[in-house]
Structure 1
Amino acid sequence: MLKIFRIIAFLEGISYLLLMLAALYKRMPSGDDAFVKLLGMPHGLLFVAYIALAVFLRATYQWNAKTFVIILLGSLIPFGTFYVDHNYLKPLAEKKGL
């Protein structure tokens, strides 16, 4: 499940950045929100999957409250999921041999 969570975290981070770029460069100047609508649903699904997997994996890997909050906040901050993967998930995966 950790491997799946790392993939979801990566995809969620990419979709968040694409959504932000679409909102800034396409919607703001011209008012065209087609890209925002196109990217919004996949990002929303990936966000929900990220949160659900984080909640599920908290018990499995016995994350303390601070670690868990940082992992959850990673989904709200641009580039946050990449930080979480590099500092929390990758070392855990290397320890487990994944």
Structure 2
Amino acid sequence: MTPRSPLHPFGRAFAIVAFIEALTWAGLLLGMWLKYGPADTVALVKIFGPLHGGAFMVYVAVSLLAALRLRWPWWATGLALLAAIPPLVTLPLEWWFRRRGLLSARNAG
């Protein structure tokens, strides 16, 4: 097994924001399930809707900053932005980017 490179600060920020974006997606999905399902309540949607909207915007900004600072190829930048659209895809993308070394300090200039 090869040793992993340490994460660049922007790589670490991307990993954290990707997790938060997925977490707020999960909360919003649970809220929508409760709203249209068994509980008929909008409480979680009112909480996680704005949280997810903010997390989405922060994720897009951090993705673009990380892409510039870590010198991602165009396809990685596109995948990072597209991953925020379907629910919970930012997590596996972050894991894959980490394995490929796209979040490591060795890529940055």
Over alpha carbons, which structure has the higher Rg?
2
Of the three residues 82, 87, 92, the one matched with 2:102 is 92
Structure 2, unaligned runs of 5 or more = 1-9
Percent identity of paired positions between Structure 1 and Structure 2: 23
Specify the alignment match of 2:17 in structure 1: 8
Q: Which moved more, 1:46-55 or 1:1-10?
A: 1-10
Write the distance in 2 (CA, Å) between the matches of 1:88 and 1:20: 25
Output aligned runs, 1:5-84, within 5 Å: 5-24=14-33, 26-29=34-37, 30-84=39-93
Report the TM-score, using the length of structure 2 for normalisation: 0.76
User: CA shift at 1:3, angstroms?
Assistant: 1.0
Check the 8 A contact 2:27/2:44 in 1, yes or no: no
Report the TM-score, using the length of structure 1 for normalisation: 0.84
Write the distance in 1 (CA, Å) between the matches of 2:105 and 2:57: 25
Write the distance in 2 (CA, Å) between the matches of 1:96 and 1:56: 14
Write the distance in 1 (CA, Å) between the matches of 2:50 and 2:68: 28
